[in-house]
Amino acid sequence: MDDWLRDLQEILNSTAQNSSQWLGNLSKEADQAVDKWLEASEENFQEIQAALDPALSEISDSLEEMLDASTLFVDQQLTPWLEEVTAPISCTVNPWLQNHPTCIGCKHYHGATYGDSMLVCGMHPYGPEDTFCSDKESIWPVPPE
């Protein structure tokens, strides 16, 4: 009875040893295959990058030119238009907020601060002295009669 147990143990040991060798060889081959794949991938990536660099550079330059053109458009076209469109609001609200009620709705109202002084308008730098201003011109359109 001891013989079959010893034979079984030898067979199992031999099988384990063969399996271990087979798995070791498989691991080495897999490592080599992965290394080759990584090297090929790196070469391919470098080739792709070299091929794409000029195109990406050209796209980047084009985008930069378009952004510059957009910024120029905003500065030259959109900003003055926005200032003109919002003039009725700013010339109506700002004088009221800055305690110049006579200037509400006047197209000459400036209301910007320079240093410590505020320039109300060109005719009355510190604001009109009376509650009536003879130089006032309304920003609101006059309805046709």
**Predicted pLDDT of residue 1:** 56
Which pLDDT score, from 0 to 100, does residue 79 have? 81
What pLDDT, on the 0 to 100 scale, is given for residue 77? 82
pLDDT given at position 96: 60
Is residue 106 within 8 A of residue 139, CB to CB? The reply is yes
User: How large is the C-alpha radius of gyration of the chain?
Assistant: 42
- pLDDT tens series, the chain, 145 aa: 578 888 888 898 899 898 999 999 999 999 999 999 998 888 888 888 888 888 888 999 999 999 988 888 888 888 888 877 776 666 666 666 667 788 888 888 887 878 887 888 888 888 888 888 888 888 777 777 6
Q: Are 83 and 116 a contacting pair, CB within 8 Å?
A: no
Q: What share of the chain is helix, strand, coil (3-state, %, to 5)?
A: 70, 5, 25
Contact call for residues 133 and 106 (beta carbons, < 8 A): yes
Q: Helices (H) and strands (E) in the chain — how many of each? A: 2, 2
- Between CA 22 and CA 28 the distance in angstroms is 10
CA distance 62 to 24: 55
